[in-house]
């Protein structure tokens, strides 16, 4: 054990080690992007379990997105081995779901209550009008809960039952929250209930990456932490291990006008004198910008002719970069289409996160219900999903007189295809599978190992890192975002600047920022000025790439097909 523990802390710098090995009690780690906050969090859990005899099942690690939770789980597995499975890792919503399932009867729900899908919510909303209390009652009649209620109901429940609070406090004696800057009122309330004022609550975050105030998140909870939790220890981390020095310098300059962290320091740990400057491409149009992305990816990964068309893998020529090292980030989902089209025309594989939820697709809920009730089914979860699909498809193939209740066989088959990747990721953990489905697992979850360029909104990119990042659409009107007829106030502009900062700091080795001179938005093509956020960056940190290059004839040919 000792050897494991010592080895663990060896992988941290002095300040990270202070944070990871701090004694129990409230602990707040405030640090910039790429300073190893998530790394410190996972090492702290591993250290506590390996060195201080904390039981993994006493640890609860919470974050905000499923992707971030998966990343935490993955890193913990690597550090702790199989016992990492005993650590509870999840999102705030999955935590709420766990508490609610365990106490469903106390709020008048059956244990197998379901989360309302969009259609069910819209129906209840239409019937209830503005009356929130009767909206909830309508859902309750169908054994449904709203997604927001996954947090509000457990808070109400815990507030009313001190014994229950005590039970959870005994179960999870060590609580960790990553991306703490995004915490909102009800989530904070839940943390306060789950942790006593002198409890082992460790919150980790960066006020300058707060990008969810529109959903009610509030960086004021950094201050509240020191007020509500006694003798909270504060640790700051200053060394950025992620980005090359020019990328980091550009990011630090970009955030400076709105930084919420007084005296912020972010020192580059990487000092390669050969590191490329930040690429800047002033595109003439959206199509030209997309071509720039394709051309540059092509140069970075290897010639088009060296790629096998079906798999997107690089044949022959050895190259150190692959498609999975590259991300294209944008402010609004609408910007993705021209980039996806251009990449597809060049046969570059792409994975784009969709926000469509699996549970809203036809057939999915039927299969989930079948799995929940069919304890007898054997085999891996993926095999059980297939089997449940077969059973359902056969059942539905028999026509009923009125056709009522038949979710169609082809829907069931496509639902099986959609569910199989999630089932594989969950191994044979049925509760995890059902909980991910209920809390909104997306149709196209991102696979970090997929050999494809990743396309993400800036919001979805938080916490992630990629060797190569393209930040497209760095234009006034997109960054900061402006809706027709509305002018963002200072707070909204500051939040947009933080979003820009989040985008820049995802890059490890190469960062390209581009802006188009003309863009269609809301049906009208307009001239666009570069983002004013770029003005805060020293021009000497940019390498400007040439103006529009003529389109390649090959593209034109393909477009005709
Ligand atoms: P963000 O604010 O974007 O979530 P973060 O502070 O959580 O960033 P991490 O993702 O934990 O940062 O770390 C950034 C990168 O730096 C990772 O690749 C991590 O492995 C690496 N790193 C962190 N600390 C060290 C260290 N002491 N030695 C070497 N690499 C490190
Ligand atoms: Mg992190």
Report DSSP state, residue 225. H
Distance between CA 33 and CA 249 in Å, rounded? 12
Kind of pairing between the strands at 200-205 and 233-237: unpaired
Alpha helices in 462-532 (DSSP H): 490-504
Sign of CA dihedral 43, 46, 52, 54: positive
Distance between CA 14 and CA 11 in Å, rounded? 10
Instruction: Tell how far the Cα of 204 is from the centroid of ligand 2, in angstroms.
Output: 9
If DSSP codes are grouped into helix, strand and coil, which group holds residue 442?
strand
**DSSP strands (E only) in 120-227:** 144-145, 174-177, 200-205
Q: Which residues line ligand 1 (CB under 6 A)?
A: 12-13, 16, 31, 33-39, 206, 209, 241-242, 463, 465
Residue among 23, 435, 503 at smallest CA distance from 232: 23
Distance between CA 283 and CA 509 in Å, rounded? 22
**Minimal-distance CA residue to ligand 1 atom 24:** 36
Task: State the pLDDT at residue 444.
Answer: 62
Helix (H) or strand (E) segment spanning residue 469? strand 466-471
Do 455 and 327 touch, CB atoms closer than 8 A?
yes
Ligand 1 atom closest to Cα of residue 11: 27
Ligand 1 atom closest to Cα of residue 16: 27
Instruction: Tell how far the Cα of 77 is from the centroid of ligand 2, in angstroms.
Output: 17
**Minimal-distance CA residue to ligand 1 atom 11:** 36
If DSSP codes are grouped into helix, strand and coil, which group holds residue 309?
coil
Annotated binding site: 31-38
Alpha helices in 103-148 (DSSP H): 118-128, 132-141
Q: Which residue has the tokens 């129990």?
A: 24
Task: State the pLDDT at residue 370.
Answer: 83
Distance between CA 62 and CA 72 in Å, rounded? 9
The DSSP bridge partners found for residue 542 are: 278
Distance between CA 166 and CA 147 in Å, rounded? 25
User: Which segments in the chain show pLDDT lower than 70?
Assistant: 1-6, 303-319, 354-355, 374-378, 397-406, 443-449, 547-561
Task: State the pLDDT at residue 242.
Answer: 98
Annotated binding site for ATP: 31-38
Instruction: Tell how far the Cα of 538 is from the centroid of ligand 2, in angstroms.
Output: 27
Do 459 and 499 touch, CB atoms closer than 8 A?
yes
Residue among 388, 421, 464 at smallest CA distance from 179: 464
**Span 1-17, pLDDT tens digits:** 333 445 889 999 999 99
Task: State the pLDDT at residue 487.
Answer: 84
**Minimal-distance CA residue to ligand 1 atom 31:** 241
Distance between CA 233 and CA 27 in Å, rounded? 5
Q: How many CB atoms lie within 10 A of CB 267?
A: 13
Distance between CA 84 and CA 19 in Å, rounded? 20
Ligand 1, from 18, 38, 68: best to mutate by most atoms within 8 Å of Cβ?
38
Do 357 and 438 touch, CB atoms closer than 8 A?
no
Instruction: Tell how far the Cα of 39 is from the centroid of ligand 1, in angstroms.
Output: 6
**Span 246-274, pLDDT tens digits:** 999 999 999 999 899 888 889 999 999 89
**Span 425-477, pLDDT tens digits:** 787 788 778 878 877 777 666 666 678 999 999 998 888 899 999 999 999 99
**Span 41-85, pLDDT tens digits:** 999 999 999 999 999 999 999 998 877 888 898 899 999 999 999
Do 240 and 33 touch, CB atoms closer than 8 A?
yes
Instruction: Tell how far the Cα of 242 is from the centroid of ligand 1, in angstroms.
Output: 6
For residue 396, what are its two tokens? 């539905």
């Amino acid at each position: 054990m000792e050897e494991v523990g010592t080895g663990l802390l060896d992988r941290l710098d002095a300040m990270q080690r202070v944070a990871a090995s701090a004694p129990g009690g409230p602990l707040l780690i405030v640090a910039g992007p790429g300073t190893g906050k998530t790394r410190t969090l996972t090492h702290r859990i591993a250290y506590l379990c390996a060195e201080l005899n904390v039981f993994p099942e006493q640890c609860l690690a919470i974050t905000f997105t499923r992707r971030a939770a998966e990343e935490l789980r993955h890193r913990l597995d690597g550090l702790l081995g199989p016992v990492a499975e005993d650590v509870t890792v999840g999102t705030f919503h999955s935590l709420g779901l766990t508490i609610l399932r365990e106490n469903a009867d106390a709020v008048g729900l059956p244990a197998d209550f379901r989360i309302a899908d969009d259609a069910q919510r819209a129906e209840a909303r239409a019937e209830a009008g503005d009356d929130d209390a009767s909206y909830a009652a309508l859902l309750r009649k169908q054994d449904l809960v709203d997604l927001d209620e996954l947090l509000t109901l457990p808070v109400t429940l815990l507030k009313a039952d001190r014994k229950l609070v005590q039970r959870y406090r005994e179960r999870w004696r060590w609580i960790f929250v990553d991306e703490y800057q995004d915490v909102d009122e009800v989530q904070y309330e839940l943390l306060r209930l789950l942790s006593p004022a002198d409890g082992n609550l460790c919150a980790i975050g960066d006020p300058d990456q707060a990008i969810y105030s529109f959903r009610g998140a509030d960086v004021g909870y950094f201050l509240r932490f020191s007020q509500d939790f006694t003798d909270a220890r504060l640790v700051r981390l200053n060394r950025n291990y992620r980005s090359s020095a020019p990328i980091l310098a550009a990011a630090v300059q970009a955030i400076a006008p709105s930084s919420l962290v007084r005296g912020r320091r972010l020192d580059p740990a990487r000092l390669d004198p050969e590191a490329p400057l930040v690429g800047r491409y002033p595109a003439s149009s959206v199509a030209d910008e997309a071509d720039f992305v394709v051309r540059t990816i092509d140069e970075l990964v290897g010639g088009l002719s060296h790629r096998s068309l079906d798999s997107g893998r690089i044949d022959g020529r050895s190259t150190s970069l692959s498609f999975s090292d590259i991300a294209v980030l944008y402010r609004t989902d609408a910007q993705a289409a021209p980039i996806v089209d251009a990449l597809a025309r060049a046969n570059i594989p792409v994975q784009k996160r969709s926000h469509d939820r699996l549970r809203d697709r036809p057939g999915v809920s039927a299969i989930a219900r079948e799995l929940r009730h069919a304890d007898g089914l054997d085999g891996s979860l993926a095999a059980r999903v297939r089997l449940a699909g077969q059973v359902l498809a056969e059942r539905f193939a028999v026509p009923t007189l009125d056709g009522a209740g038949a979710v169609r066989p082809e829907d069931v088959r496509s639902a099986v295809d959609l569910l199989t990747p999630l089932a594989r990721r969950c191994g044979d953990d049925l509760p995890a599978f059902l909980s991910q489905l209920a809390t909104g697992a997306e149709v196209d979850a991102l696979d970090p190992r997929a050999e494809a360029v990743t396309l993400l909104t800036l919001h979805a990119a938080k916490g992630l890192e990629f060797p190569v990042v393209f930040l497209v659409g760095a234009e006034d009107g997109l960054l900061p975002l402006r809706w027709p007829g509305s002018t963002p106030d200072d707070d909204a502009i500051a939040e947009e600047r933080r979003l820009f900062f989040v985008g820049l700091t995802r890059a490890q080795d190469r960062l390209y920022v581009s802006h188009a001179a003309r863009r269609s938005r809301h049906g009208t093509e307009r001239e666009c000025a570069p983002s004013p956020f770029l003005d805060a960056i020293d021009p000497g940190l940019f390498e400007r790439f040439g103006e529009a290059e003529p389109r390649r004839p090959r593209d034109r040919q393909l477009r005709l097909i």
